[in-house]
């Protein structure tokens, strides 16, 4: 299942929850709530990246986040820290943080990649055009340009000594992108998961989601859309999603997992499906509406098409694991020879029911031919076909 990273902003000015978790005690309590709701990782940020946010000194950032990082690490929590400063990255890695999440992919602080390489943490390399999320939003091909940027930053990270298996990529939803660019990225996300690196996707409460809601809707009203876009990201191969409201996204991903499990079960079921066809079974019966048909009888020819679960028989080579078509043919002949009916439609229905008595038969189609029917003009054959499937 795709990992869910719970966002914990210990800032006074983040766009949707600024000021709520500045106190370390409140931050730690909220982290525990996110974990109880199903978060796999707590992603802690001490400096806001909202439009117009004022930069802060890294020492202030560390003062905000280190008490929280240290407390959560002591509790065995997997911690990611959202920072663009190498000095903060070093401090949180020393405190036990597993991941450094840099929205500039190491471009803001030229020492960042070397610091992470030395600290042996994992790193998230995100696409952006600087920390001002509103600048440089023009693209010729947003997907191609984001992909190339990430390729370049991955190469830089490897050159700095970060092993490839410790690198995650992030397309940077909402950073330096107009609304349409975000939707194009989401629609073509497989082009980026095709880079064969784990991908973190963060659409949570982003402005492009808010554009779908009524004017004035609060940021937390975007949580439903966050869950939907997180599911779409997971379907496209994202390894993790980063969200404010963990509960709704975890529930949505569980629904996706249930659907995928059902699809796999159906695929396994379909893989065992096969068919058995019997053609030209000949039997003598007294069916028809005319007195001479009831008195003298005539030959009927029956074709049977069965959809059958044959996978078990293919594996075991036992006739008990399939439909014994010799026995079925004998039963069809006996059913034609017994009590007469007026219409071959009725006879065909009788034979369909007989076929469906076998538990491995999923569907049966029976054609009854009446080549000697009393038709007043030259003809080759007359037949009726009926079918039935099980309701599953």
Q: Which of 206, 207, 222, 350 is catalytic?
A: 206
Sheet of 273-285, strands arranged across: 273-285, 298-309, 361-369, 383-389
Query: Active site residue: 222, 242, 350, 370, which one?
Result: 242
**Whole-angstrom Cα distance, residue 107 to residue 101?**
13
Report the alpha-carbon distance of residue 158 to residue 146 in Å, rounded.
Answer: 18
Residue 178 makes CB contacts below 8 A (sequence gap 6+) with 137
Tokens standing for 366?
């029976």
SS3 percent helix, strand, coil of the chain, rounded to 5, is 45, 20, 35
Does the active-site annotation cover 177? no
Please check whether residue 28 is in contact with residue 260, taking contact to mean a CB–CB distance below 8 angstroms: no
CA-CA distance, 176 to 188, in Å (whole number)?
A: 18
Beta carbons of 79 and 41 less than 8 angstroms apart: yes
Q: How far apart are CA 99 and CA 246, in angstroms?
A: 19
What is the Cα–Cα distance from 44 to 79, expressed in whole angstroms?
7
Distances (CA, A) of 67 to 63, 74, 198, 354: 7, 11, 29, 74
- With 0-12 / 13-18 / 19 or more C-beta atoms within 10 angstroms meaning exposed / middle / buried, residue 351 is buried
To 10 degrees, the CA torsion angle through 224, 230, 235, 239? -160
With H, G, I as helix, E, B as strand and everything else as coil, classify residue 183. Answer: helix
Taking the mean position of all CA atoms in its chain, how far away is CA 374?
Answer: 60
> Does the active-site annotation cover 254?
no
Report the relative pairing of strands 298-309 and 361-369 from DSSP bridges.
antiparallel
DSSP conformation letters of 327-354: HHHHHHHHHHHSS--S-HHHHHHHHHHH
Positions annotated as catalytic residues are 206, 242
């Amino acid at each position: 299942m795709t990992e869910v990273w719970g966002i914990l902003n210990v800032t006074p000015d983040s766009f949707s929850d600024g000021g709520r978790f500045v106190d370390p005690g409140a931050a730690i309590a909220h982290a525990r709530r996110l974990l109880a709701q199903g978060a796999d990782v707590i992603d802690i940020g001490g400096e806001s990246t909202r439009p117009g946010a004022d930069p802060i000194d890294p020492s202030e950032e560390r003062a905000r986040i280190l008490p929280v990082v240290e407390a959560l690490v002591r509790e065995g929590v997997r911690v990611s820290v959202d920072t663009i400063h190498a000095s903060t990255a070093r401090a949180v890695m020393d405190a036990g943080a597993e991941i450094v999440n840099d929205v500039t992919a190491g471009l803001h602080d030229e020492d960042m990649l070397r610091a992470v390489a030395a600290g042996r943490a994992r790193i998230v390399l995100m696409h952006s055009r600087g920390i001002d999320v509103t600048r440089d939003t023009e693209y010729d091909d947003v997907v191609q340009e984001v992909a190339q940027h990430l390729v370049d930053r991955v190469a830089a990270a490897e050159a700095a000594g970060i092993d490839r298996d410790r690198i995650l990529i992030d397309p940077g939803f909402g950073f330096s992108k107009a609304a349409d660019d975000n939707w194009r990225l989401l629609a073509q996300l497989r082009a980026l998961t095709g880079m064969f690196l784990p991908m973190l996707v963060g659409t949570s409460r982003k402005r492009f989601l808010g554009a779908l809601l009524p004017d004035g809707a609060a940021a937390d009203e975007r949580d439903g859309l966050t869950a939907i876009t997180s599911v779409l990201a997971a379907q496209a191969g994202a390894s993790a999603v980063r969200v404010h409201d963990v509960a709704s996204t975890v529930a949505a991903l569980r629904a996706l997992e249930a659907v995928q499990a059902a699809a796999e079960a159906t695929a396994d079921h379909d893989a065992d499906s096969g068919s058995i066809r019997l053609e030209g079974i000949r039997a003598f019966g007294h069916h028809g509406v005319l007195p001479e048909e009831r008195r003298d009888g005539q030959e009927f020819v029956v074709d049977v098409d069965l959809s059958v679960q044959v996978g078990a028989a293919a594996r075991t080579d036992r006739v008990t694991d399939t439909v014994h078509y010799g026995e079925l043919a004998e039963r069809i002949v006996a059913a034609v020879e017994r009590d007469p009916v007026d219409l071959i439609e009725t006879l065909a229905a009788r034979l369909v029911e007989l076929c469906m008595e076998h538990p491995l038969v999923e569907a049966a189609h029976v054609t009854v031919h009446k080549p000697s029917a009393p038709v007043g003009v030259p003809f080759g054959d007359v037949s009726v076909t009926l079918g039935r499937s099980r309701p599953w």
